[in-house]
């Protein structure tokens, strides 16, 4: 009987606990979390140790993805054109200040907020 109970617990109940945990997982990087990663202190340094690297990597990944879509002639819904000469520190400041002004993005995945922040500064020029 003990073996049956152990079998039941391990093979029937345990997978349900792990799948319940997976279902609760939301956005890995929310707007609020990205804001904390990108935030600078009063001296201009990073507020979260190592935060600037994570913030800038997230932004760079999103810009790379937009560039990929554009190269495949798939226009993204928010079409931004960040110049190749753009500095990641400047992009971090743009995104951080946007998130500071737009708290409605806090609970959601950060990608749309980053796109909108960069679009404000780097919209693609309309083709005639």
Burial (Cβ within 10 Å: 0-12, 13-18, ≥19) of residue 71: exposed
Q: How many C-beta neighbours within 10 Å does residue 52 have?
A: 20
Top-tier CATH class for 28-121: mainly alpha
pLDDT in tens, the chain (128 residues): 544 333 333 344 434 434 444 445 555 899 999 999 999 888 888 888 999 999 999 999 999 999 999 999 998 889 999 999 999 999 999 999 999 999 999 999 999 999 999 999 999 987 65
Alpha-carbon span 122 to 128, nearest angstrom: 18
Cα distance between the two ends of the chain: 78
Name the residue with tokens 């956005």.
27
Q: What is the pTM of this model?
A: 0.76
Tell me the three state secondary structure of residue 73: coil
Cβ neighbors of 82 (< 8 A, separation 6 or more) are 63, 66, 91, 118, 122
Calpha distance 114→95 (Å, rounded): 6
φ, ψ at 7 (rounded to 5°): -60, -45
């Amino acid at each position: 009987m003990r073996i049956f109970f152990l079998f039941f617990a391990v093979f029937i109940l345990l997978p349900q606990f792990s799948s319940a945990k997976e279902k609760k997982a939301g956005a890995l990087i929310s707007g609020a979390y990205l804001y904390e990663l990108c935030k600078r202190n009063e001296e201009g340094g990073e507020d979260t140790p190592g935060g600037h690297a994570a913030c800038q990597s997230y932004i760079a990944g999103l810009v790379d993805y937009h560039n990929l879509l554009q190269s495949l002639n798939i226009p993204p819904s928010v079409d931004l054109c960040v110049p190749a000469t753009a500095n990641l520190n400047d992009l971090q400041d743009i995104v951080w200040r946007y998130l500071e002004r737009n708290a409605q993005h806090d609970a959601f995945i950060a990608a749309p907020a980053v796109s909108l922040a960069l679009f404000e500064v780097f919209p693609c020029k309309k083709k005639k």
